[in-house]
Chain A
Amino acid sequence: MNQGLMLKAAIELWPATLLCGLLLAAAEAALAYVIPTFQAQWSQSVTQIGFLQDFVSAMLGVKVADQLGPEAFTAFPWVHPVVLSLVWAHALLCCTQIPVGEVDRGTADVTMTLPVTRWGLLASHSVVWIASGMIVLGMGLAGNVFGGRYVEAALRPDGQRVVIVLANLFCLYLAVGAFSWLVSASSNRRGMALTVVFVVLLTSFLLNFLAQFWELADRLSFLSVLYYYRPLFVLRDGAVPWGDVGVLLATAATLWIAAGVVFSRRDICTI
């Protein structure tokens, strides 16, 4: 790892980190406050209307008909599409910075002729990516805690369980980021790389969503990255989802190594 490259990466990433962090904090604060406030009304409606029940199940990624307790509502701020979009957007921005971002804007010739190996370049940027991801999720947690201060204590989720959810979300963030690195390492145009990752993530989200309505999607849902992120179970049971975390971390590590191998072997071509 190289301090100079880490400094460069940090300078380039701080605006996106700050923006995503602030937006995530605001979204979490709003959701943590709004959703429990209307919990009583919602639970009545959900138990009475079948479609809404399915919709909530799809959002949470689990069948909630028989499990619709307060935890289901406290899980919403961690699975809401706005929240996931912000987390993924940050991972995408960070992990397509090199090499595809540099190749696309033409600065690769300067950066990649510095005395650092390609693996060193990837590792330096990855450290900054992981650190900035922690900052973004930390800001999200702060927003969640802040929003939760204004609801009844009984409706607030257990702090320790929220931290486990956050750790699970961070593993999801790492898996998405590592996939972005791999696509970035294989591309010459940043727009194309962003599109590919976005389409895969959207497919993954839809698969997880449709799994609650469609049997075929249900059978394939293990292919969705969201299959391994179920905050409802964590908030209800308080158990660490070691299996899910393990799958996400293994996926992240495999994809990151694949990205490094592709990057270290590829040509940097601007012609």
Chain B
Amino acid sequence: MGSLKKLVNLPGFNNALSSMVAIGAGLLFGLIILLVSNPAEAFPGFAIILKGGVSTGAKGMGQVLYFATPLILTGLSVGFAFKTGLFNIGASGQFIMGAFAATYIGVKWTFLPAPWHWLVALACAALVGGLWALIPGLLKAYLNVHEVISTIMMNYIGMYLANFLVKSSIYDSKKALSMNVAESAVLPKAGLDKIFFNRMGASGHIDLSTVNCGIYIAILVAVVMYIVLNKTTFGYELKACGYNQEASRYAGINAKKNVVLSMVIAGALAGLGGALLYLSGAGGRHIKVVDVLAAEGFNGIPVALLGLSNPIGIIFSAVFISHITMGGNYLQTLDFVPEIIDIIVACIIYFSAFSLILRNLLPRFLKWRKSLKHDGEGGNSEREGGENR
């Protein structure tokens, strides 16, 4: 009992719990929409959403991880910027620019041998994503242009530019997609092909999942970001600037430089996310030349919110959102209109993002419960959303 109490008092537990409650609320809301749109099939439909990728066995689970990979990176991009006091709405643009850079190198630079080819592609994608965020960073630091405005603008510029560049250099007009990247540029499976596959029919044909070592890279990057933010002087400075720029300046920290650096790092993360999604061979994703902003970029925002901007939390929230999205796709086997499915998934995701509010409400609620139990016996802590290190 005593250890349970200790656990409840840990801020980390509190954070995780509020995310869980938010997810619960989101799912409940999704169920209501299901009931309204198609009462007869609502509960089987709800079960499909809950099962997510698991509906199609090991391959489906692999696909969940494959689509979670870019979400982890864009979630980190938004979350990292948020921790340093910036609101990066531009993950979409940075993501697609990184995706283009990686695909271009993957298709054209065939002179590079296998591990180097995809490594260089990843590095260049991060670089291009970083450069894409450098512009809003500079504008913010030196001309005080709000980063929300400038990153939104950069999203559109990035999308159209990527469309133009894909069409003029690496376009496969038969499929209306970007070309397949060279074999040497495809991210290795690193053992994941032994886990995430389905055996089809009597012939034993193996249906492989697209998941590859990108998920390892994403998790590694998340861990690195966690360490940078919480254990290094660099993270200490960045967070200080995020909380109070004037006081950081007073302490001798170069606040302007840090704003630019934060944006560049956030952009590099999103750009890397683009590369990890698109360097996945013929069966994987290809860049579509359509006038739509990359959804992975925007979904980074709820991922970061649900993960409370904690890099480790972001890994889990990205997997969850990918899981729910997959579940939504399988809903089509029942009698649901695709638009309704999108609405349901979006509602669940956005409800989940309320975890931030819940984190502040939950302790109060618990306290209230407690004070009801033993009224007047002296209530306990009123915790003001203090950040845990």
Instruction: Judge: A and B partners, yes or no.
Output: no
Residues of A with Cβ closer than 8 Å to B? none
Residues of B with Cβ closer than 8 Å to A? none
